[in-house]
Amino acid sequence: METKIWNVDKFVDKKEIYSQVVDASSLLAEGQVVAFPTETVYGLGADATSDEAVQGIFQAKGRPSDNPLIVHIASKEQLKQLVTDIPSQAEQLMDAFWPGPLTIILPSKKSVSSYVTAGLSTVGIRMPDHPVALAIIEKSGKPIAAPSANTSGKPSPTTAIHVWEDLNGRIAGIVDGGPTNVGVESTVIDCTQLPPMILRPGSITPEMISEVIGHIEVDPSTTNKMEKPKSPGMKYTHYAPNAQMTLIDGSQEFINKLIHKEQKNGKKVGILTTEENKAAYQADVVITCGYRNRLETVATGLYDSIRQFNESGVDLIFSEMFPNEGIGIAIMNRLWKACGHSIIRE
């Protein structure tokens, strides 16, 4: 399969990019699979109402079909076609955070493919905060199912180049709208229960949500495997580089001891760190993902940094820990999964 690439400028009014958007949207309307940028990561889109189109997502990614997909919409009118009920707390969250990186789980009207919901009675929906994504969805006339546009289990793509590396020849097209700015997938909150529960952390933090709707819960199993997950990212290994990655809960001196031990055993060792700490380590490969004092930059650079290790030829990777608060919760959630729950404590 030939994979087309369209280049667009997200800062240009959407009417000026319609030639590329029309092409991509036409393929989506025909049941093809197309990757496009959102503010979080690149999504792998297909018509959410078509079984055949949605199966194309699973085939391209190599993704298990019991993992639900998030549906992306461009308007609240589309939302009404997809769900049977919109609780008042969900309305408040939409008013506060849509368009934006918040996925809300609601009772499904079963108007989307059962492959999208993985057979559940609920569906996760969000309105992306990206002009290119919104233009594509609007022009296609369809709700678009769109998981991250990567090979299943690998780091999510934050540039079109990442998508090309993983899926060239396996999908119909890639809309290149430049790097994404959030860098980690959307927060997922289940509004079919009281109190609502966060199933996947993201840049919309529990504190931000609580300010809008009051008390919520955070599912402690978001880092554990589940038999029937309600949200993507809850069951299988995700975000992993080619080499084994391990979280290190300890001082820089302790991390350097671990590095030297592995180097003596003939291993080429990488360390994932921040700009502030990069000079502290004697690893063979030192890669930074942002600034520790600005965790939003770590979130933005995380997946690209993990992917860089694949080109470095390291045998194993050690990663620093990050504060488990604010957006740091999402960062640690992704690192925990990338490491396959492997951690060494001092």
**Residues within the annotated binding site?**
40, 63, 67, 72, 122, 126, 146, 148, 156, 186, 200, 239
Buried b / exposed e across 147-156, counting CB within 10 Å, b at 16+?
bbbbbbbbbb
Three-state DSSP state, 50: coil
First to last CA, the chain: 50
Q: Report the candidate in 77, 107, 76 with the shortest Cα–Cα distance to residue 93.
A: 76
Residue that has been written with the tokens 């092409």 in this structure: 23
Which segments are annotated as binding site for ATP? Answer: 63, 67, 148, 156, 200, 239
d(CA 1, CA 116): 24
Buried b / exposed e across 86-116, counting CB within 10 Å, b at 16+?
bbebbeebbeebbbbbbbbbbbbeeebbebb
d(CA 133, CA 212): 26
The CA distances from residue 235 to 67, 135, 201, 305, in Å, are: 8, 32, 14, 23
The H or E element that residue 213 is part of is: helix 206-213
Assigned token pair, 278:
């990069």
Tell me the HSE value of 200 on the side-chain side, using a 13 A CA sphere. Answer: 26
d(CA 196, CA 186): 16
Residue that has been written with the tokens 């709700």 in this structure: 143
Which segments are annotated as binding site for L-threonine? Answer: 40, 72, 122, 126, 146, 186
Dihedral of the alpha carbons of 199, 205, 208, 210, in degrees to the nearest 10 = 40
Query: Does a cis peptide bond (omega within 30 degrees of 0) precede residue 201?
Result: no
Q: Considering Cα of 146, then 237, then 334, then 213, what sign does the dihedral take?
A: positive
